[in-house]
Chain A
């Protein structure tokens, strides 16, 4: 997004307030790994994307996630994020502008990454404060490891 300084005052104030409420972590975890060409990568998005038949995300934001199997067709993906304050027209035209699953598979085919995960995951990022996500993030870590994942691409909306 453009820098906060370039936004209209009302939007800048809203985002500055969110920043004031954001958690400050005292530790700086850092996991090293193998070269990118050997990594198995999963996407975790907070965009509220899910398969058409899945339960839509609720107007009362929670920290539940939806599972998106790697082979899911773009035509099966919809978005039920509760916020009305971001553009959806890009996603409506092309899933990859939010959830770049086709691009990730291309990188695997071109051996830029080792492989794409069998399962990707989607949250709705509206739950606040973000520390609420800790239990589900830790649950997800276990699931990702069982899928052989050693690198996670996190994408907002």
Chain B
């Protein structure tokens, strides 16, 4: 982000930017930056908070009026909370999802259990689409059930090739997994209690079959001879926060 600001300014365009990692912005010193104390993934603070987003946007744009730079200002407010921060119970999905036992015969049983899980979440996903006016599922171009089948097929002894000849098998698996995760996250977000990112993340990785599938696929990818698949296994399927939590719990 800082580099883009530098190059655009060199070419005669005034820039202002949001900074999420203040220490990086201090190093790169772009012309104008507003540091915000919001979680990664939310540079304008909170969804469905137009007045707050507007305030952040105006604060960033006002930096264009500075006489000289570089300018690095701090936005003074935290993002509005989406849930009662005193609620120590956090989000508990009321849909009863139980993880499958390990399947010694390949991926088929996992597929069935995942499709069952998906069916249980479908009414919530339908509600999410209605409430948010859209869904971000669909990067793979597959129906969500087919994305499940494609992903679980990688657990079998003979992993499938890419479902699209234009993209690599790693790219195909990544898109199918991203769609699956987006489906679950959207379904969870529509449920009572207005769960936020961290709560949904914990639920997805600790309680769902889909989360378990992605953890299993991470291992499959790590052992693959394909370099793209190895990349998925290293860092592109499971968040660092989840990897470290698992490490802590296994000690």
**Chain B binds chain A:** yes
Is A149 part of the binding interface, using a Cβ–Cβ cutoff of 8 Å?
A: yes
Minimum C-beta distance from A156 to chain B (A): 5
Residues in chain A near residue B40, CB distance under 8 A: 1, 85-87, 157
Q: Mark A19-33, 1 if CB is under 8 A from B, else 0.
A: 100111101111111
Known: A96-B50, A112-B58. A137 touches B41 (CB 8 A): no
Q: Mark B116-149, 1 if CB is under 8 A from A, else 0.
A: 0000000000001000111110110000000000
* Contact yes or no, B136 A78, CB < 8 A: yes
Per the bound structure, the CA–CA distance linking A58 and B171 in Å amounts to: 7
A11: nearest chain-B partner, CB-CB: B240
* Contact yes or no, A1 B21, CB < 8 A: yes
B36: nearest chain-A partner, CB-CB: A1
Per the bound structure, the CA–CA distance linking A18 and B21 in Å amounts to: 11
Residues in chain A near residue B36, CB distance under 8 A: 1
Classify chain A: how many residues form its interface, as a range. Answer: 35 or more
* Contact yes or no, A107 B12, CB < 8 A: no
* Contact yes or no, A150 B14, CB < 8 A: yes
B231: nearest chain-A partner, CB-CB: A59
Task: Tell which of B24, B50, B138, B228 has the most Cβ of chain A within 10 Å.
Answer: B24
Residues in chain A near residue B240, CB distance under 8 A: 10-11, 14, 85
* Contact yes or no, B134 A75, CB < 8 A: yes
Minimum C-beta distance from B225 to chain A (A): 17
* Contact yes or no, B189 A93, CB < 8 A: yes
Task: Tell which of A84, A137, A153 has the most Cβ of chain B within 10 Å.
Answer: A84
Residues in chain A near residue B37, CB distance under 8 A: 1-2
* Contact yes or no, B57 A59, CB < 8 A: no
Is B22 part of the binding interface, using a Cβ–Cβ cutoff of 8 Å?
A: yes
Per the bound structure, the CA–CA distance linking A94 and B49 in Å amounts to: 9
Is A71 part of the binding interface, using a Cβ–Cβ cutoff of 8 Å?
A: no
Per the bound structure, the CA–CA distance linking A140 and B4 in Å amounts to: 10
* Contact yes or no, A29 B10, CB < 8 A: yes
Per the bound structure, the CA–CA distance linking A102 and B23 in Å amounts to: 30
Task: Tell me which of A30, A59, A96 contacts B174 (CB under 8 A).
Answer: A59
Task: Give how many B residues have a beta carbon under 8 Å from the other chain's beta carbons.
Answer: 90
* Contact yes or no, B189 A92, CB < 8 A: yes
* Contact yes or no, A97 B61, CB < 8 A: no
Residues in chain A near residue B235, CB distance under 8 A: 84
Task: Tell me which of B16, B43, B174, B201 contacts A151 (CB under 8 A).
Answer: B16
A125: nearest chain-B partner, CB-CB: B1
Task: Tell which of B13, B49, B178, B232 has the most Cβ of chain A within 10 Å.
Answer: B13
Per the bound structure, the CA–CA distance linking A63 and B46 in Å amounts to: 28
* Contact yes or no, A97 B31, CB < 8 A: no
Task: Tell which of A24, A31, A35, A91 has the most Cβ of chain B within 10 Å.
Answer: A31
Residues in chain B near residue A86, CB distance under 8 A: 39-41
Residues in chain A near residue B186, CB distance under 8 A: 92
What would be 20 A-B contacts, judged by CB atoms less than 8 Å apart?
A: A16-B23, A19-B23, A19-B24, A29-B10, A31-B9, A31-B12, A60-B231, A80-B139, A84-B235, A85-B40, A90-B42, A91-B47, A92-B135, A96-B47, A100-B57, A107-B58, A133-B4, A153-B18, A156-B1, A156-B43
Beyond A32-B14, A152-B13, 8 additional contacts (C-beta under 8 Å) are: A1-B21, A15-B24, A31-B31, A39-B61, A89-B47, A92-B136, A107-B61, A141-B11
